[in-house]
Amino acid sequence: MQALTQKVKVSSNILGVQLTVVYYGVKLLLFSRMLFAKLWFPPSKSFFTSTGEWAVVTGASEGIGRAYAFAMCRLILPGMDKRRKGLIVNISSGIASIPFPMYTLYAASKVFVERLSQGLQAEYKDKGIIIQTVAPFGVSTRMAAYQKTNMMTLSPEDFVKSSLQYIRSGDKTHGSVCHIIL
């Protein structure tokens, strides 16, 4: 009986180790998708021109950001729906992912932009329209007081180049490997 109990303990320990390996293997695989976006989500050379008209919808503050995103989507989605293709990239913020004192209204407006985009993506996905939210953390803009660029704080041009690699990676992205890690 004792030998059987010991075998069961060993078997359960082995199963636990196997499940842990599988769990972290899946995590590593998902992370590698973001690390090597060009391999996992390569857009064709004609991807951006083949989507027809597309818009980058941005918003700078709580009232303007929400209203602008909502109005722009309302204006351009009917045409995309008729053509059965299009691409909308709504800009949110990494601040929407975490509580951030002193930026509560700004963060709330960015959460609105994310939820609007997710809802519209669910509605229009089958119609050939891609709606994605990009939620960067640090980009050297006027709002960030033009911080010195480095590995974590990218220039707007560098951030755009990086984030375009993730256009086909899902409903939401942070736009750069450094921001995904954050």
Structure tokens at 10: 């060993």
Contact call for residues 106 and 60 (beta carbons, < 8 A): no
Positive/negative CA dihedral, 90, 93, 94, 100: negative
Contact call for residues 87 and 167 (beta carbons, < 8 A): yes
Q: How far apart are CA 126 and CA 115, in angstroms?
A: 18
Beta-carbon neighbour count of residue 47 at 10 Å? 14
Q: How far apart are CA 168 and CA 42, in angstroms?
A: 8
- Calculate ∠ Cα 73-79-81, nearest 5°: 85
Catalytic: which of 24, 68, 103, 106? 106
Contact call for residues 128 and 168 (beta carbons, < 8 A): no
Structure tokens at 146: 């033009």
Is 68 an active-site residue? Answer: no
Beta-carbon neighbour count of residue 58 at 10 Å? 16
Which are the catalytic amino acids? 106
